Amino acid sequence: MKYFLAIVFIVIGNVMNAQVTDSTLNNDIDDTARASVAPLSADSLAAISNTDAILTDCVIGDSCLPDIVIFENNGNSVVSESNGENAVADYMNADEINPYKYNATTVPKGAIINIIDSGMMEYITPCVCSVNSPFGYRRWGRYYQFHPGLDLNLPYGQPARAAFDGVVRLAKLTPGYGNCVIIRHPNGLETLYGHFSALNVKPGDLVKAGDTVGFCGNTGYSFGAHLHFEIRYMGVPFNPALVVMTQKDSLKITSITIDNALFKSNTPPPPPKYKYVYHVVKKGENLSIIARKYKVSVAYLCKLNHITTKTILRPGKTLRIR
């Protein structure tokens, strides 16, 4: 009987150990998944922490801040720890364009961001270039397509510069932006540079305003060599033309308020209205007569109405003209 009880206790102990091991293994797997994006080195994170702020002068307290953010309010540095240490690695994610998962509607509002402070002493235009395509929705056939930045007329192979001091969060080939660089700045903003032919930085690099981050190209979703430039707050782009000039190293404003007005251009316009024109065929009319009347070609009418030049037009038939 003693031997039987001993065997039972050994079996139960092994089962419990196995459960603990499985639980530990699952936790290890979860931790590995969470840590699949390596955080910045201690030196790089220290460099960020030693600047004035990740966000500056938050006017309504922690509610307008992302998780785990060092910010400065009235000269006193404060740390929000609502999401623990993992948040530091999350917002310095080196794999995702937008690890924050906010959009223009959901992004926290209320912060006041100083464009220049002791952690970001100057602005250098990414290139002394004209703007090929502005920020906002642009007509694309019958629809509108959102353009989240400025397209700058930089020649192929020419260097593009960091606009502000910061640390490189992402530098890699992406589907839409091609070879892309994202720099996290001490005031909580990020700048994005796209379509490079070659990169000149890697994640974790500390850069100064004016440092070369890449060379102009035509990679990704692009129809010609140019520099795509964005300014983002917590992953959400807003119009850089509100803040900076591109043909000289000058700012238009020294601070911005994160509010709905800042993201006004992110709202799609109403769909374009089309006025269709139709013609009811009268006795004696043919395609040539109708085409001349509306100053279009016979081929155009045939294509629009899915008919041929040999189609018999009977009185009362409706043709679409436009």
Q: What is the pLDDT of residue 139?
A: 77
The pLDDT tens digits for 110-135 are 888 888 876 678 999 999 999 999 99
pLDDT score, position 269: 81
| Residue 287 CB burial class (10 angstroms; 0-12, 13-18, ≥19) | buried
C-alpha to C-alpha distance for 125 and 129, rounded to whole angstroms: 9
Distance CA 75, CA 52 (A): 9
User: In the CATH hierarchy, which fold is given to the domain comprising 278-320?
Assistant: Membrane-bound Lytic Murein Transglycosylase D; Chain A (3.10.350)
Whether residue 207 has pLDDT greater than 80: yes
Q: In the prediction, which pLDDT does 173 show? A: 96
pLDDT range class, residue 68, cuts 50, 70, 90 = very low
Structure token digits, residue 187: 């005031």
CA distance 114 to 83: 25
State which of 45-49, 97-101, 131-135 shows the largest mean pLDDT.
131-135
149, burial (CB in 10 Å: exposed 0-12, middle 13-18, buried 19+): buried
Q: What is the pLDDT of residue 302?
A: 93
Top-confidence residue, 114 or 73: 114
Of 264, 178, 181, the residue nearest 220 (C-alpha): 178
Q: 249 vs 166, 193, 238, CA distance in Å?
A: 17, 17, 19
Please choose, from the candidates 101, 113, 87, 58, the residue with its C-alpha nearest in 3D space to the C-alpha of residue 243: 113
Asked if pLDDT for residue 24 goes beyond 80, the answer is: no
The pLDDT tens digits of the residues spanning 255-312 come to 999 999 999 999 888 776 667 889 999 999 999 999 999 999 999 999 999 999 999 8
Give the separation between CA 313 and CA 322, rounded to whole angstroms.
Answer: 18
Alpha helical stretches, state H, 35-148: 42-49, 86-91
Q: How confident is the model at residue 240 (pLDDT cuts 50, 70, 90)?
A: very high
Identify the band that residue 66 occupies on the pLDDT scale cut at 50, 70 and 90.
very low
In this prediction, residue 83 has a pLDDT band, given cuts at 50, 70 and 90, of very low
Nearest to 189 by CA among 81, 53, 76: 53
CA distance 112 to 119: 16
Q: From the CB of residue 12, how many other CB atoms can be counted at a distance below 10 Å?
A: 10
pLDDT digits (tens, 9 = 90+) for 243-258: 999 999 999 998 999 9
Q: What is the pTM of this model?
A: 0.63
Q: What percent of the chain has pLDDT over 70?
A: 69
Q: What angle do helix axes 287-294 and 298-305 make, rounded to 10 degrees?
A: 100
Q: What are phi and psi of 171, to 5 degrees?
A: -155, 100
Which class is 38-273 in CATH? Answer: mainly beta
Whether the predicted pLDDT of 60 surpasses 50: no
Mean pLDDT in the chain?
76
Helix residue spans in the chain (DSSP H): 2-34, 42-49, 86-91, 287-294, 298-305
Of 115 and 78, the structure prediction assigns the larger pLDDT to: 115
Dist. CA 20–CA 24, nearest whole Å = 6
In contact, 213 and 193? CB cutoff 8 Å: yes
Q: What is the structure's pLDDT at 281? A: 93
> How high is the pLDDT of residue 272?
65
On the question of pLDDT at 186 being above 50, the answer is: yes
Lowest mean pLDDT among 12-21, 53-62, 80-89, 303-312: 53-62
Q: How far is CA 252 from the centre of its chain?
A: 22
In the chain, domain spans: 38-273, 278-320
Beta-bridge mates of residue 166: 207
Angle CA 7–10–11, to nearest 5: 85
Amino acid at 249: D
| 3 vs 33, more confident | 3
| C-alpha dihedral sign at 8, 10, 15, 17 | positive
Residue, of 264 and 45, whose pLDDT is higher:
264
Helix (H, G, I), strand (E, B) or coil at 77: strand
Express each pLDDT in 135-174 by its tens digit: 999 877 667 889 999 999 999 999 999 999 999 999 999 9
How far is residue 245's CA from residue 315's CA, in Å, rounded to a whole number? 62
